[in-house]
Amino acid sequence: MIKLFSLKQQKKDGESAPERGKKSSAAQLRIQKDINELNLPKTCDVNFPDPDDLLSFKLIISPDEGFYRGGRFVFSFKVGQGYPHDPPKVKCETMVYHPNIDLEGNVCLNILREDWKPVLTINSIVYGLQYLFLEPNPEDPLNREAAEVLQSNRRLFEQNVSKSMRGGHIGSVYFERCLK
Amino acid sequence: MAVTWSGRWNHVRKVTERTGPFAHPDFEPSTETLQFLQEVCHILVIGAGGLGCELLKDLALLGIRNIDVIDMDTIDVSNLNRQFLFRPKDVGKTKAETAANFINLRIPGCNVTAHFAKIQDFDASFYRKFHIIVCGLDSIIARRWINGMLISMLSYEDGELDQSSIIPMVDGGTEGFKGNARVILPGMTACVDCTLDLYPPQVNFPLCTIAHTPRLPEHCIEYVRILLWPKEEPFGAGVAIDGDDPAHVSWILEKSQERANEYNISGITYRLTQGVVKRIIPAVASTNAVIAAACATEVFKLATSCCQPLNNYMNFTDIEGVYTYTFEAEKKDDCVACSQKPQNISFCESDKLQDILTYLLESTTYQMKSPSITTAINGKNRTLYMQSVKSIEEKTRANLKKSLAELELCSGQELYVADPTTPSSLTFILQMGTKME
């Protein structure tokens, strides 16, 4: 039991212990741990434009198999002070023809929204995103046109993906080249 | 001018001047206790909203006179049904000042000091003034911030926590008919980050549902909020949604209505739109009253030592009947916020960052594998070195050859070290001057 009677002493303004540099936030300490222990698959790389800011960085995925082999896709991560209670905000910066990523870069991945839990880490999201490129899921589409093509005609979908990655039009939408 | 009258504090003196079956074993009844509450005890109330109004009233009526209150908000007309220190004429004024003035006028002798500010505007020298801090907040981020602040103010001697450095934190929270009250003795009992998993996750709908298969009016509003707003930027590039700006809410309402019509969904209203945008959960005045009363009781118990404090987390719900349950939330061994006793390491100003790194790798105590070292200087985070991420390693490698003086690291500076060998980051306090043996 804490000796609370010591409370009865008058507190004095700003006395005692010398001021240490203001402590890092819990979110900051947790992200440092997450980043230090990133265990990236060989198809992924991270880039920190400002090494002092561990809360914002890019993830680059270069799939080596599946529909998206040879492509290079950049995601931006923004981690807030609510981390890990709140998930990071992740956007795809590369225009991609993909059933689960729309043309504004929104990503439909369950652990980024409804299934996020504080035990998950940045690494979990990296694996989740990498999986999206190996197994695009037409059941939960964000880009419905792409999802319909994937469901009805896998060959055509494969061709569309290749064409978009080389740089070209799919329907009326122009995709910038994103081959490695 | 301390107005008082005979018998004014009888309700408090019954507890402080007598013992009883539930009294703390070490409790000594005394007239000095009331005197302490009135003259010495200094309490900080964070938040002057639903819980804050109740807390200020409760604490003042318990005889506590020296109270500070912090709130960054101004009064909205929708607050008036439950935030009873505010009147229609106060709409637009600051919550902290209005609440403080009301209490000071209504309860003679009480001296509430208002701070129209964010908690982050103050540093440890401010928070150290208080005996107990009680929170009526609606934000997890703010709770974690004050929790981290109180933990950073702990001091250790030979690895032992100096109990006089502990400032107890009493935290209340409500959400509709549910609420909780808890007592945190920073460094001793479970802290906010130890129990981060207990906070209910924000309700988020799957993005694909919002984008293509809306079934609820909320799905339509979320569509406009998440997908349409950033695309159309109706109020200019980069303008974030302000849920209190009627023009913003009306725009979202109109677009949500269009989408709802497209999918034959009904039930979109202004109120619902604002509710979804601001994530409003209707506040219930009675829940606030119960939770604030529980918190004020804990403050009283801690301040007078008349009774063991709550151990340490009380849940409350009055959705159907009334139910409460108290349990002991456990301190987490690997809590990022409170599991670390900062450890002292000694180096000279002329030592290089490489020397610290080598020490962490080679000392028999740590034997780390690939430590990363960060610090915070003047509130700004700095990554001194991180080996495991190439882009950071390249940009911080030069630091290894710099001396601690060149890196602006002084005595007392905290260094945060993450390494795969430890479950959470370690905190070191740099001691300059004497070389480590």
Q: What are phi and psi of A90, to 5 degrees?
A: -120, 130
Give the best residue of B68, B336, B411 to mutate against chain A (max A CB count within 10 A): B336
Residues B279, B234: Cα–Cα separation, whole Å: 21
Please identify among residues 146-175 of chain A the ones whose CB lies closer than 8 Å to any CB of chain B. none
Q: Point out the residues of B that are catalytic.
A: 208
Question: Token match 């009873």: residue?
Answer: B84
Distance CA B22, CA B296 (A): 18
CB B47 within 8 A of CB B137: yes
For helices A26-36 and A122-134, give the axis angle rounded to 10 degrees.
Answer: 50
Alpha-carbon Rg for chain B, nearest whole angstrom, is 26
Those of residues 10-49 in A touching chain B at CB distance below 8 A are 10-30, 32-33, 35-38, 45-48
Check A20 against B230: CB less than 8 A apart: no
Test A26 with B336 for CB contact under 8 angstroms.
yes
- Residues whose CB is less than 8 angstroms from the CB of residue A173 and which lie 6 or more positions away in sequence, other chains included: A97, A103
Bridge partners, residue B413, by sequence: none
Residue A174 has pLDDT above 80, yes or no: yes
Binding-face residues of A in 94-123 toward B, CB within 8 A = 100, 102, 104, 106-108, 110, 112-114, 116-119
Query: Within an 8 Å CB–CB cutoff, is residue B125 touching chain A?
Result: yes
| pLDDT at residue A41 in the model | 93
Would you write out chain B's pLDDT as a tens digit for each of its 437 residues?
557 888 999 999 999 999 988 888 888 899 999 999 999 999 999 999 999 999 999 999 999 999 999 999 999 999 999 999 999 999 999 999 999 999 999 999 999 999 999 999 998 999 999 999 999 998 899 999 999 999 989 988 877 888 889 999 999 999 999 999 999 999 999 999 999 988 888 888 999 899 989 999 999 999 999 999 999 999 998 899 999 899 999 999 999 999 999 999 999 999 999 999 988 888 999 999 999 999 999 999 999 999 999 999 999 999 999 999 999 999 998 888 898 788 889 999 899 999 999 999 998 888 999 999 999 988 789 999 999 899 999 999 999 999 999 999 988 899 999 998 888 888 899 988 755 44
> In Å, how far from its chain's centre is CA B161?
22
Q: Quick one: how far is CA B109 from the chain centroid? A: 29
Question: Which stretches of chain A are assigned E, i.e. beta strand?
Answer: 44-47, 56-61, 73-78, 89-92, 168-170, 173-175
Pairwise CA distance, residues A41 & A130, whole Å: 9
Q: Angle between the A144-152 and A154-166 helix axes, to the nearest 10 degrees?
A: 130
CA-based Rg of chain A, rounded to a whole angstrom?
Answer: 22
pLDDT tens profile A98-123: 999 999 999 999 999 999 999 999 99
B218-232 confidence digits (pLDDT tens) = 999 999 999 999 999
Q: What is the complex's ipTM, to 2 decimals?
A: 0.85
CB contact under 8 A, B204 and A21: no
Span B400-431, pLDDT tens digits = 999 999 999 988 899 999 998 888 888 899 98
Between positions 211 and 270 of B, the ones with CB within 8 A of A are 211-212, 226-227, 230-231
Nearest Cα residue in chain A from B388: A36
Residues of A in contact with B206 (CB under 8 A): 108, 110, 113-114, 140
Closest to B296 measured CA to CA, from B310, B282, B276: B310
Closest CA to B156 of B125, B131, B187, B133: B187
Distances (CA, A) of A114 to A12, B197, B429: 48, 15, 39
Confidence of residue A7 (pLDDT cuts 50, 70, 90): low
Q: Say whether pLDDT at A13 is over 60.
A: no
* Nearest by CB: B429 against A19, A20, A117: A20
- CA-angle at B316, arms to B315 and B317, nearest 5°: 135
